[in-house]
Structure 1
Amino acid sequence: MGRTAGHALAGLALALPLATSAGLAKSKDEKTAPAPAWNENPYPSTYRAYPGEPVAIVGATVFDGAGGRIDNGTVLVADGKVQAIGDAALAVPATYRRIDGTGKFVTPGVIDIHSHLGVYPSPGVDAHQDGNEMTSPTTPQVWAEHSVWPQDPGFSRALANGGVTTLQILPGSANLIGGRSVVLKNVPSRTVQGMKFPDAPYGMKMACGENPKRVYGAKGQMPSTRMGNFAVDRQTWIKAAEYKRKRDAGKLEERDLGMETLADVLAGKILVQNHCYRADEMAFVIDMAREFGYKVSAFHHAVEAYKIGDLLKQNDICAAVWADWWGFKMEAFDGIPENAALLQDAGVCVIIHSDDDYGIQRLNQEAAKAQGDGRRIGIAIPDEQVVRWFTLNPAKALGIDAKTGSLAAGKMGDVVLWNGNPLSVYARPEKVWVDGALLYDALDPKRRPVSDFELGLPGEGDVK
């Protein structure tokens, strides 16, 4: 065994005892599932929640993620789920550990709908560039989960610094159709299957605008223009519709992995997550979706979404946006910091996303920036509504809002206790629970799970 391989195995061996010493029992991510039938998922989730204890957070300000606020509130979590939330009068069972939340705030776990952690892990070297299959303008056959590296240090940083408990990992935007996304629970695991959010729908990454036409136009092939983008898309959907027709009739003679994915999009089983900047292109995508019978769940980046708020609301499409990114390429020049506030005012489902391994650690602050920009033009959005931008709204666009995204009895016990108002630049997660298990505690060094790759190489720091 070479020195590099030996070090990697030693690092993994070190990481697992660290998790155990932090009070985290080993996740049962090795469970073997029976071979699936054709058209079923061959890579099912083996996620099992880490064990937790019944807890009662009392005296905190509670933002429930659905737009509600309870001052001097109480949150009860047990058996991996939220049991109840209420005011100070809510009875706390004697078996629950009481956590004093006086002066602190509670929210649901933060959800990032647009992340590339694991497929572009840290460190950002060429060997880790696994997010864009730039060999064809359409690659619906690829699945992001097959590139995700569970030991990416970005996962534990997002948990500790941003309170992120759930995230969607997407392929990049070089291709018109980039492949399947995967929704993960942000937990330590040796396998991707051990992180996969149980029964979450797959997403399908699409892109429009500059990226595909630049990448493939530079290779002297179609598409090299925006009209080429739509022509390639439409021709691909024609093939997918025919494939689905044959599949539904039981007349398929051989499998096509890409067409399987697109047929499931047309069947409503896979949700379209569409990278798009300009308002005019988003309107064309809406028309194209209507032409072929699929639905866009969310437009991502959507810097000009404020121009078509009425169309987005009418078609029940969420806008996953940055607070203030603009001007870094031509299609981003009409981005404005008031985008999110104007969309909220128009009744649109607003989401703050990251698309960045640092931004994912500050989604709460990004939302606060967008809230402030709205206030400056006379749109006052209450804190409890802004919290929805990084909790329940992304859960809705991912098709998992019945299970997580808000603090409601029976939902997953994904909870963050903040040391201050999460919309303050000074706020940090103090404790983070995933399915009722305390996976991070800023006050307890044993409750800070990290990737072994945070520890450095031999000769650096404390690594021997």
Structure 2
Amino acid sequence: MSLIALSLACPADAKPRPHRPAPHDKAPIAKPAAVIPFMLGGNPSTYKPLPRQDLLITHATVLDGAGHRFDDADVVSRDGKIVAIGPHLDGGNARVIDAKGRWVTPGLIDPHSHNGTYSMPLTSIDNESGDVSEMSGPIAADTWIEHAINTQDASFIYALQGGVTTLQVLPGSTPQIGGRAVTLHTIPATTVAAMKFPNAPQGLKMSCGENAKGYFGGKGQKPTSRQGEMANFRDVFSQAVAYRGMWEHYQKDPHGPPPTRDLKLDTLAATLDGDLRVQVHCYRADDMAEIQALATEFGFKITAFHHAVEGYKNPELFTKTDTCAVVWSDWWGFKMEANDGIRENAALLDAAGACVTMHSDSPVIGQWLNIEAAKAAGAGRHMGLAEPPEHIIKWITSNPAKVLGLEDRIGTLAPGYNADIVIWSGDPFSIYTKADTVLIDGAIAYDRYDPAYQPLSDFQLGRKAGGVQ
């Protein structure tokens, strides 16, 4: 076509016509996205690391949490991550901390805490101050413990001073299904969201045995027996299977009305999907076997049995299913189902190949997890199951990290891991040793010798070194 013809066909002031696709060009109308609500809820983490600087820790005895010991070694952290471990490292412009004669480990991890919900000293004075359990019924799967935590509980600070950098707060064990757990850093904050470990997997607390039947049975409610407890479990998980099926059908064809939402069944459907890590309070070996059978029936995995005082009677309950044993060193006999507890429990389970971790379940023990591990290891040593410090440290670092689903981020001193580090005054398994310096994400969160790094909660205001003012 000539330029004259083209100019006549398309005048300079002509407006372009909108493109009108032919009928066969029309894009298909997208179906509305079906939002599955099982994991909706809760406040996202707003945690931000404390002000940090690159560090070179020198001449320390290092236990890396993965089973290795390094003598006269250095540790380098940069931008909140571990960079290297070994002798004679170059830290560049990093601040140097001379740890000669001292020991270095990963930050300790408590997989079973009630800090913030069973706050000392308030709960010991006034039980109404506690929020550890929702007691209105045996199935409290719709509750989230993060909605109840008092961040001013001094137990968080005491745990930090004991070398604990991460802990999981669980609901109590009176309900059969106590609700959802939360994983926190032990840093001062005014909101739970500011303490929440970013993107940590969420847990679910379940319990078996005496607590539920004793409490609810005493009120004339079901369960009044262990068989009643199992009936409740099977009933509510059967409902969850049906509920999940309705949402799966809706996801495939979202044009109809969505199913009516049920917050309890949201939690249990998420459990069936493997999105919640199941933490079960259980003492007796036979009870643990029954709960494993329940998990097999409904197709979910138990992450850990907590307390597990009879774990030594049947280690295969743990090893065959890769279930961790979260135990005390020596609690026993305080109720009937704890009567067969033995001090060698942790060592025997460990020797059988089970994943073993220590836990607190108490704001007092939460300050001494390293001594809990030392006592449990000592009991094993007396019966011929001696393990070195580089192995025992796993019970309070890398193994509980596995319980929380954070084994690729914390619990081990290795390149790429978060720089959660404790510098101890000596062997961490000695009663005379204290945590000198505690780092979280490469930032000093506590230092025994520097008042600038000695945080206080509101409960501690007015205290002086010499006592209460």
TM-score (norm. length: structure 2):
0.88
2:143 aligned with 1:134: no
2:102 aligned with 1:104: yes
Structure showing greater radius of gyration is: 2
Contact kept, 8 Å, 2:247 with 2:259, in 1: the verdict is no
1:223-253 deviation per Cα after TM superposition (whole angstroms, max 9, x unaligned):
0111111111110110111111111222742
CA distance in 1, matches of 2:36, 2:197: 21
Contact kept, 8 Å, 1:302 with 1:319, in 2: the verdict is yes
CA distance in 2, matches of 1:249, 1:107: 50
2:427 aligned with 1:429: no
CA distance in 2, matches of 1:453, 1:78: 34
Match of 1:65 in 2: 65
Task: Give the counterpart of 2:459 among 437, 450, 453.
Answer: 453
After TM superposition, the structure 1 = structure 2 runs for residues 222-371 of structure 1, keeping only pairs within 5 Å, are 222-250=222-250, 252-371=258-377
Q: Amino acid of the residue matched to residue 233 of structure 2? A: D
After TM superposition, the structure 1 = structure 2 runs for residues 82-161 of structure 1, keeping only pairs within 5 Å, are 82-86=82-86, 88-89=87-88, 91-123=89-121, 124=123, 125-160=126-161
* Residue aligned with 2:192, SS: coil
Contact kept, 8 Å, 2:76 with 2:91, in 1: the verdict is no
CA distance in 2, matches of 1:461, 1:375: 39
Report the alpha carbon displacement of residue 82 of structure 1 after superposing the two structures with TM.
1.0
Match of 2:211 in 1: 211
* Residue aligned with 1:70, SS: strand
CA distance in 1, matches of 2:36, 2:195: 23
1:341-365 deviation per Cα after TM superposition (whole angstroms, max 9, x unaligned):
0001000000000100000000100
CA distance in 1, matches of 2:231, 2:153: 37
Report the alpha carbon displacement of residue 127 of structure 1 after superposing the two structures with TM.
3.5
CA distance in 2, matches of 1:127, 1:278: 30
CA distance in 2, matches of 1:444, 1:242: 58
1:316-339 deviation per Cα after TM superposition (whole angstroms, max 9, x unaligned):
000000001000000000000000
Match of 1:375 in 2: 381
* Residue aligned with 1:139, SS: coil
1:93-119 deviation per Cα after TM superposition (whole angstroms, max 9, x unaligned):
230111111110000000000000001
CA distance in 1, matches of 2:81, 2:334: 42
Report the alpha carbon displacement of residue 37 of structure 1 after superposing the two structures with TM.
8.4
Percent identical among aligned pairs is: 49
Q: Amino acid of the residue matched to residue 256 of structure 1? A: D
CA distance in 1, matches of 2:159, 2:390: 22
Contact kept, 8 Å, 1:45 with 1:194, in 2: the verdict is yes
Report the alpha carbon displacement of residue 42 of structure 1 after superposing the two structures with TM.
4.2
Contiguous gaps of at least 5 residues in structure 1: 1-35
Task: Give the counterpart of 1:389 among 385, 392, 395.
Answer: 395
* Residue aligned with 2:181, SS: strand
CA distance in 2, matches of 1:248, 1:168: 31
The alignment's C-alpha RMSD in Å is: 1.6
Contiguous gaps of at least 5 residues in structure 2: 1-34, 252-257
TM-score (norm. length: structure 1):
0.89
CA distance in 2, matches of 1:44, 1:120: 23
Report the alpha carbon displacement of residue 456 of structure 1 after superposing the two structures with TM.
5.0
CA distance in 1, matches of 2:381, 2:366: 24
After TM superposition, the structure 1 = structure 2 runs for residues 13-52 of structure 1, keeping only pairs within 5 Å, are 38=37, 39-52=39-52
* Of 56-65 and 240-249, the range deviating more from structure 2: 240-249
* Residue aligned with 1:328, SS: coil
1:403-424 deviation per Cα after TM superposition (whole angstroms, max 9, x unaligned):
1111111111110000010011
Match of 1:53 in 2: 53
Across the two proteins, how many residue pairs are aligned to each other?
A: 423
Q: Amino acid of the residue matched to residue 180 of structure 1? A: R
Contact kept, 8 Å, 2:81 with 2:419, in 1: the verdict is yes
CA distance in 2, matches of 1:218, 1:41: 33
CA distance in 2, matches of 1:401, 1:418: 22
2:410 aligned with 1:404: yes
CA distance in 2, matches of 1:290, 1:462: 54
Q: Amino acid of the residue matched to residue 96 of structure 1? A: A
Match of 1:23 in 2: none
Contact kept, 8 Å, 2:36 with 2:247, in 1: the verdict is no
Contact kept, 8 Å, 2:115 with 2:156, in 1: the verdict is yes
Q: Amino acid of the residue matched to residue 267 of structure 1? A: D
Contact kept, 8 Å, 1:273 with 1:296, in 2: the verdict is yes
Match of 1:419 in 2: 425
Contact kept, 8 Å, 1:63 with 1:69, in 2: the verdict is yes
Contact kept, 8 Å, 1:49 with 1:435, in 2: the verdict is yes
CA distance in 2, matches of 1:163, 1:433: 9
Report the alpha carbon displacement of residue 85 of structure 1 after superposing the two structures with TM.
1.1
Q: Amino acid of the residue matched to residue 283 of structure 2? A: Y
* Residue aligned with 2:314, SS: helix
Contact kept, 8 Å, 1:304 with 1:339, in 2: the verdict is yes
CA distance in 2, matches of 1:411, 1:255: 39
Contact kept, 8 Å, 1:52 with 1:78, in 2: the verdict is no
Report the alpha carbon displacement of residue 446 of structure 1 after superposing the two structures with TM.
1.6
